[in-house]
Amino acid sequence: MKVTIVGAGNVGATCADVISYRGIASEVVLIDIKEGFAEGKAMDIMQCATTTGFNTKVVGSTNDYTKTAGSDVVVITSGIPRKPGMTREELIGINAGIVKSVSDNVLAHSPNAIIVVVSNPMDTMTYLALKATGLPKNRVIGMGGALDSSRFKYFLSQALDKPSNDIQGMVIGGHGDTTMIPLTRLASYNGSPISNFMSQEEMDKVAADTMVGGATLTKLLGTSAWYAPGASVAYLVDSILNDQKRMIPCSVMLEGEYGQNDICIGVPCIIGKNGVEEIVDIKLNEAEKALFEKSADAVRNMNEALSSVL
Ligand SMILES: NC(=O)C1=CN([C@@H]2O[C@H](COP(=O)(O)OP(=O)(O)OC[C@H]3O[C@@H](n4cnc5c(N)ncnc54)[C@H](O)[C@@H]3O)[C@@H](O)[C@H]2O)C=CC1
Ligand SMILES: O=C([O-])CC(=O)C(=O)O
């Protein structure tokens, strides 16, 4: 199985690294516009093969898409990340042009690939990739909910002082500081509702910390995060390539589901070899439905800025 990752920067290279050492794909192609950069990252990762014990072939390329031909999955991480104090939405001016041209190149060489969009503002970039390529909606998937959910579980685990892997929880809605919806009501500690262990005030704080999780890291690091984002992409790619049919919140095109149309936004999806195989209706309550509608309004407003590229 072959995976191409466009953008060999922080997120792209981390994703390539995780995919390789976990043996998720047999070949990973890293491609970037910066001369020699992807080749260097690929070589560095390949030099881990004997010490971490993997057999994935990792190839780097400077903008030569022939090397990406026949990929089963293509991950788009190319574009600029935000700096402290910025929102993800402010990246649209530069990233929309990059995502559009990359989508065209990718499809020309891998007509059957499933595309995973990571570049921000991710929901709008997913919508752009879907419209620009004309691919069926099951084959264009925005990654954000997997990361936001892992942050949600991290903050819950910190508040409860329990291991992250004993926590279940999900974040849906837009992948933005004000559009994310951590589903506190449905989160559990090994199946027992977290409200059995935390006050409303503590749960509200976890939700608020989750929503600005990316901004907090950007402030600490000077650029946005990459370890958890790269690992979250690898987790999603694993579910596709190995047909795991995991339920992962992803940004996908809605046609009536969750009361929305013509928008890509985070909802729980079954992810398998065909990409998005099902959108799961988890029965939101009225308050959650209202939050989802507000989140969709904000994402839709952002999508309007695409009129110059589409
Ligand atoms: N959806 C999500 O959950 C997350 C999204 N992101 C987003 O992912 C993107 C990448 O972030 P980082 O890796 O930290 O940035 P980075 O700056 O480390 O890497 C981006 C890479 O893209 C390359 N690039 C730019 N234009 C290109 C083109 N036309 N073709 C090929 N490569 C190109 C650059 O040369 C650079 O190496 C940003 O937009 C960031 O906001 C980051 C983390 C999580
Ligand atoms: O915060 C950012 O800009 C990058 C990102 O999407 C995240 O880490 O969630």
CATH number of residue 218's parent domain: 3.90.110.10
Domain boundary pick from 144, 176, 194: 144
Measured in degrees and rounded to the nearest 5, phi and psi for residue 255 equal -130, 70
C-alpha dihedral over 133, 138, 144, 145, to 10 degrees?
A: 160
pLDDT digits (tens, 9 = 90+) for 180-217: 999 999 999 999 999 999 999 999 999 999 999 999 99
Half-sphere exposure of 291 (CA within 13 A, CB side): 18
Q: 294 C-alpha to center of ligand 1: Å?
A: 28
Query: Are 230 and 131 in a shared domain?
Result: no
- pTM listed for this prediction: 0.98
pLDDT digits (tens, 9 = 90+) for 48-77: 999 999 999 999 999 999 999 999 999 999
Cβ of 143 less than 6 Å from ligand 2: no
Half-sphere exposure of 296 (CA within 13 A, CB side): 22
Query: Are 175 and 251 in a shared domain?
Result: yes
Q: What is the mean pLDDT of the chain?
A: 97
Coil vs helix vs strand at 168: strand
What ligand has the least distance to the C-alpha of 104?
Answer: 1
Model ipTM value: 0.99
Cα dihedral sign, 155-156-160-163 = negative
C-alpha dihedral over 111, 117, 119, 123, to 10 degrees?
A: 130
Residue of 82, 125, 149 to test ligand 2 pocket, by largest number of atoms within 8 Å of CB? 82
Number of domains in the chain: 2
pLDDT digits (tens, 9 = 90+) for 261-270: 999 999 999 9
Domain with 80 in it: what CATH number? Answer: 3.40.50.720
Q: Give the C-alpha distances (Å, rounded to integers) separating 56 from 31, 182, 252, 273.
A: 16, 35, 29, 20
- Return the ligand 2 atom nearest residue 228 CA: 8
Angular region, 173: left φ>0, alpha ψ -120 to 50, beta rest? left
Is position 259 annotated in a ligand binding site? no
Cβ of 226 less than 6 Å from ligand 1: yes
Query: Are 101 and 238 in a shared domain?
Result: no
Q: Give the C-alpha distances (Å, rounded to integers) separating 199 from 44, 182, 284.
A: 47, 16, 21
Catalytic residue numbers? 175
Query: Are 88 and 188 in a shared domain?
Result: no
Query: Are 291 and 158 in a shared domain?
Result: yes
Query: Are 166 and 289 in a shared domain?
Result: yes
Residue 80: DSSP 8-state:
P
Domain boundary pick from 104, 122, 144: 144
Query: Are 166 and 205 in a shared domain?
Result: yes
Query: Are 132 and 10 in a shared domain?
Result: yes
pLDDT range class, residue 295, cuts 50, 70, 90: very high
Tell me which residue range forms the domain holding 25.
2-144
